Amino acid sequence: MKKQNTPKKLICLLAAVLVLMSVPIPTVHAKEESSEDEDKTGAPYFYVETADPSVDSFPLKKTNVTVDINGVIADIHVLQTYANEGQNPINASYVFPASTKVTVHGMQMQIGNQIVTAQIKEKEEAEEEFEEAKEEGKSASLLSEEQPNVFSMNVANIMPNDTVSIDLHYTELITPADGVYQFVYPTVVGPRYVSPVIDDCGTREEWTATPYLPEGKLPDSQYNIHVNLSAGVPITELTSSSHKIDIKWDENTKADISLADPTDYAGNRDFILDYKLTSEDISTGLMLNTGETENFFMLMVQPPERFDAKDIPPREYIFVLDISGSMSGFPLDTAKELIKNLVSNLKETDTFNLILFSGASYQMAERSVPATKENIENAIRIIDYQEGSGGTELAPALEEAIAIPASDDVSRNIVIITDGYIYGENDIFDIIRENAGSADFFPFGIGTSVNRYLIEGIAKTGQGEPFIVTDESEASETAAQFKTYIQSPVLTNIQVSFDGFDAYDVEPSILPTLYAQKPIVLLGKWRGEPKGTVTITGKNGAGDYTQTISVADMLTPDTNTEDDNALAASAAAVSLDSDALSYLWAQKRIEHLTNYGLNKNNPDIKDELTELGLTYSILTPYTSFIAVLDTVRNPDGNATDTDQPLPLPLEVSNFALGGYLFGSEPTDFLLPTALVLLLLLQFLHRRKTAVSNR
C-alpha cells in the first residue's frame, strides 16, 4: 500500500490561516477593568452590561430633536435626558454625531428645578474644571468636539433618582442642489476602524473606543425628531427617505413634520428630509445683520444653468471599493449595485480600473483598461464575488490608485465608495492634498449612518462632489447623477469682487469648481452703508461668465410676487439682533482654517480657533462647554463610570467590530477556526487514503 500525502493545496490553506493568526488585529473586546499602564488600541468594542444591579448602565433615557427651519437657516435644539434609576451615583460618557455644517453655540443643564447655562472655555480649562467638580461631588456636564461631526458629552455625579436634562443649541445653513433642499440630522456615530499602527504619541483619541450593542439590539431609550418647516413660498415634494413621517400643513408654505411610528427606533440612522419650492430657480438674495461691534452678511447667488460640454476630454475612472467588515450585507450589496451602474455607463473612449480594499487591497489591472464589454463584465464578476470582511485600510488603497500610470491627455477621476467607518480621516485628506491636480476625487458614502466628515472632506479637498446612497434602490439614480455632474460642470475659475460695498473677512475665500446646480453662498462682515455691487465671474461651456448684482436691489425684494425666495423668507425671520449669521460665518471661518485637517496643529491656527470659540461662544476643536451645579451632592465623590453604548447603525452587521463568531476576543475566533480546518484536513486525508486502498 502506497502511503498518501496530505494534499498540497490544503497544506497551503492551513499555512495561510496560521499566518493570519500571527497578524496583529485591532482589539475589539468587551471592556474590562485594567491597569493604567495597559496599552489600549482605542478600537470600538461590543458592550457587556455590568452584572451589578445597583448600577444603571443605560442612563441616557431620551433624546428629543426639535428643528425650526426658516428659509435656509435651521435652528436645532437637542434635549438629552439622563436618569439614574440605579442605587449608586454614576458618571456617564456618551458619543453622538452632528452634521459637519452645524455651529454649536449653546448648552444648558437642568437638574430638578435648578438650571445652569454652560460657559464656553478653553478645552483644557473646561476639562480641568469638570474633573475638579466631579471629585468634589458636584453635578456637572462637559460638551467637547472630538471631530467636526463627532461630539462627546460627559456628565458627573448623577445621583440615584436624578433626572438631568442637557439642552444643546445648533445653527445650520441649508443650501439646495438641483432645486432640492435637504436637511440631514445624523443620529448615531458608526464604529471607526482603528489601524494596528498607532500615532507618534502611542495613543488614540478616547472617543474611538466606543461600546456598541450587538447587531439588532437597540438601546432602552427614546429618540424623537420634530421639524417645523417655514419656507416663505409654497413647498412641494416633502419626503423622507430614512423615516416614516407625519406631515401637518399650514396652508402650503409651512409644514409640521414628526415621526409616524414612535415604536420604530429613530436613532440608528440619519434622519433625511428632502423638499422643493415652487419657484423653479433659486433666486439671488442678501441677508444683513447689524451688531454692536460687527456687522455680518450672507449672499446667495444663483449660478448659470448646467451646460452640455461639447468637447469633453477622454476620462479615466479608478473605482476604489471598500469591502471591509462594516460593509458586509446591505452596504456592500448597495455598493455593488452602484459600481455596476457606474462601470456599465462608461463611454468606449473611457478607461477604468478597480481597487478593492479592506485590511489589504486588490488591483484589477496594472494600468487602466478600455471600457469594453469584456473588461466591464470582468470587473462586475470581481465585484460580485466580494462578501465584506477585515479592517478598513483606505490610505494604502488610495495611494495605490494614485500610483497607477496616467496619460497626459486623459482627465482622471478617482471614485471612492465606502461607509467611511475609519479613524484618521486627516491622513486621507493629506494624501489627496499632496496629489492635488493629478485627479478629481468623488466619494460615494454608502449606508444609513455614513461618516459624512470623511465623505464631504474627500470632495472638498479633492475638488469633487460628494454623493450619499442610503438605499440600494438609489444606486441607479445616483450613478446617473454622477455621470451628469462629471460631464458638465456649471462654473469654473469662480471669482467674487465688491464695488462700493465694504465687505471683508469673506468666506469662503476661494471657490471650487461648481459641479452641481446649487447656489454660491458667501458669508462675511461689512462696514458702512449697504450699497454698491457684487460681481461674480467664471467660465462655463459658453466661455466667460459674468453676473453683477446690486446690493440695494437685493435688500428690497418685491413681496407681492410669488418669486420671493427662501433667502428673503429667512431675512424676514432673522431679526437684526439675531446672532445666526455670526455663528454661520464663524463656522465657515473654522472650516477655512482647518480645511479638513490642514494646519490644525499649527500654533497660530490653534490660537485663532480658540479665539473664535471664545469670542462667538461656539464649540471648536479647542473650546468646550462646561456647566457645574455649585451644590455638593455627592460628598464622598464615589461614583461608577459608565460608557453609554450605541446601537450599530441600521443594516450594519457585527463584522463592523470584527464579527467574531465564537466570542469577543480575536483568539476566540481564530483558534476554533484553525481547529476546524485541522479536523477538515484530517478528515479529507483519511477519506483519500480510504479511497486509494479500495
The answer to whether residues 458 and 450 touch, using CB atoms and an 8 Å cutoff, is: no
**H helices present in 367-417, as ranges:** 373-384, 394-403
- pLDDT value at position 680? 58
Q: Which residues contact 180 (CB under 8 A, 6 or more apart)?
A: 274, 275, 276
Structurally, the chain folds into a number of domains equal to 4
Question: For the domain that residue 212 is a member of, what is the CATH number?
Answer: 2.60.40
| Amino acid found at 465 | E
Stated length of the chain: 694
- Residue scoring higher pLDDT (481 or 353): 353
Q: Which of 333, 320, 340 is nearest to 418 (CA)?
A: 320
pLDDT recorded at residue 575: 42
Upper half-sphere CA count for residue 222 (Cβ side, 13 Å): 15
Residue 675 has pLDDT above 50, yes or no: no
Parallel, antiparallel or unpaired: strands 351-357 and 315-322: parallel
Both 335 and 203 in one domain: the answer is: no
pLDDT band, very low/low/confident/very high, at 25 (cuts 50, 70, 90):
very low
Residue predicted with more confidence, 442 or 557: 442
Q: Is residue 414 part of a domain?
A: yes
Q: Which three cell numbers stand for residue 343?
A: 462601470
Whether 570 is in a domain gets the answer: yes
Q: What's the confidence (pLDDT) of residue 309?
A: 55
Contact of 466 with 432, CB cutoff 8 Å: no
Cα–Cα distance measured from residue 670 to residue 666, given in angstroms and rounded to the nearest whole number = 6
3-state SS assignment for residue 269: coil
Tell me: do 461 and 564 sit in the same domain.
no
Please state, rounded to an integer, the average pLDDT across all residues of the chain: 82
pLDDT digits (tens, 9 = 90+) for 136-180: 999 999 999 998 889 999 999 999 999 999 999 999 999 888 788
Q: Are residues 85 and 108 in the same domain?
A: yes
Q: Which grid coordinates belong to 342?
A: 457606474
- Contact predicate 185/242, CB 8 Å: no
Q: Can you give the CATH number for the domain in which 444 is found?
A: 3.40.50.410
* Cα distance between residue 107 and residue 168, in whole Å: 5
Better-predicted residue by pLDDT, 35 or 504: 504
Q: Is 175 a domain residue?
A: yes
Could you tell me which residues come within 8 angstroms of residue 266 by beta carbon, excluding any fewer than 6 positions away?
A: 187, 223, 224, 225, 243, 259
Which residue, of 463, 487, 511, is where some domain finishes?
487
Beta-bridge partner residues of 380: none
Residue 354 in 3-state DSSP? strand
CA-to-CA distance for 620 and 556, rounded, in angstroms? 36
Instruction: Return the pLDDT at 32.
Output: 39
Would you state the cell numbers that stand for residue 15, as one nine-digit string? 499555512
Least confident of 36-40, 135-139, 274-278: 36-40
The span from the CA of 653 to the CA of 213, in Å, is 11
pLDDT for the residue numbered 34: 39
Domain shared by 423 and 517, yes or no: no
Residues 295 and 327 in one domain: no
In three-state form (DSSP H/G/I as H, E/B as E, the rest C), the secondary structure along 447-514 is: CCCCCHHHHHHHHHHCCCCCEEECCHHHHHHHHHHHHHHHHCCCEEEEEEEEECCEEEEEECCCCCCE
Domain membership of residue 1 (yes or no) is no
- Considering the domain architecture, whether residues 183 and 303 belong to the same structural domain is answered as no
Mean pLDDT of 627-637: 93
Quickly list DSSP for 177-212: BTTBEEEEE---PPPPB--SS--TTS---GGGS-EE
Instruction: Choose between 33 and 251: higher pLDDT.
Output: 251
Q: Which of 44-48, 193-197, 547-551 has the highest mean pLDDT?
A: 547-551
Q: Poorest-confidence range of 15-24, 216-225, 476-485, 540-549?
A: 15-24
Note the pLDDT of residue 353.
94
Which residue among 464, 487, 510 closes a domain? Answer: 487
Residue 653 is classified by DSSP as -
Q: Are residues 482 and 571 in the same domain?
A: no
Last residue of a domain, one of 432, 454, 487: 487
Do 241 and 376 belong together in one domain? no
User: How far apart, in Å, are the Cα atoms of 93 and each of 21, 207, 692?
Assistant: 34, 9, 64
Q: Which residues, in sequence order, are CB contacts of 9 under 8 Å at separation 6+? A: none
- Using a pLDDT cut of 70, give the percent of the chain over it: 81
Query: What is the reported pLDDT for 390?
Result: 78
In this structure, are 466 and 555 located in the same domain?
no
Mean pLDDT to the nearest integer, 689-693: 53
Determine the pLDDT at residue 490: 77
Looking at the structure, do residues 140 and 95 belong to the same domain, yes or no?
Answer: yes
Percent of the chain having pLDDT more than 90? Answer: 44
Q: Is the pLDDT of residue 82 over 60?
A: yes
Residue 60 lies in a domain: yes
- Maximum alpha-carbon separation in the chain: 104
Is 202's pLDDT higher than 60? no
Which of 149-153, 378-382, 488-492, 630-634 is predicted with the least confidence, judged by mean pLDDT?
488-492
Closest C-alpha among 510, 499, 505, 519 to residue 582: 505
Residues 289-299: what's their mean pLDDT?
90
Q: Are the CB atoms for 588 and 508 separated by under 8 Å?
A: yes
Residue 563 reports pLDDT greater than 50: no
Beta strands 369-370 and 361-363 are: unpaired
- Residue 639 counted as domain residue: yes
Is 34 part of a structural domain of the chain?
A: no
pLDDT in tens, 326-366: 898 888 888 888 888 888 888 888 899 999 998 888 999 99
605-626: per-residue pLDDT in tens?
999 999 999 999 999 999 999 9
Confidence band (pLDDT; 50, 70, 90) for 510? Answer: confident
Grid cell listed for 620: 471648536
Q: Is residue 20 part of a domain?
A: yes
Which DSSP symbol is given to 57? S
DSSP-derived 3-state class of residue 399: helix
Mean predicted confidence (pLDDT) in 224-253: 93
For residue 678, give its domain range.
8-27+660-693
The tens digit of pLDDT for each residue in 420-452 reads 898 788 889 999 988 877 888 999 999 999 999
Residues in Cβ contact with 336 at an 8 Å cutoff, skipping those fewer than 6 apart: 383, 384, 386
Same domain? 81 vs 208: yes
Shared domain check, 342 and 200: no
Asked if residue 466 has a cis previous peptide bond (ω within 30° of 0), the answer is no
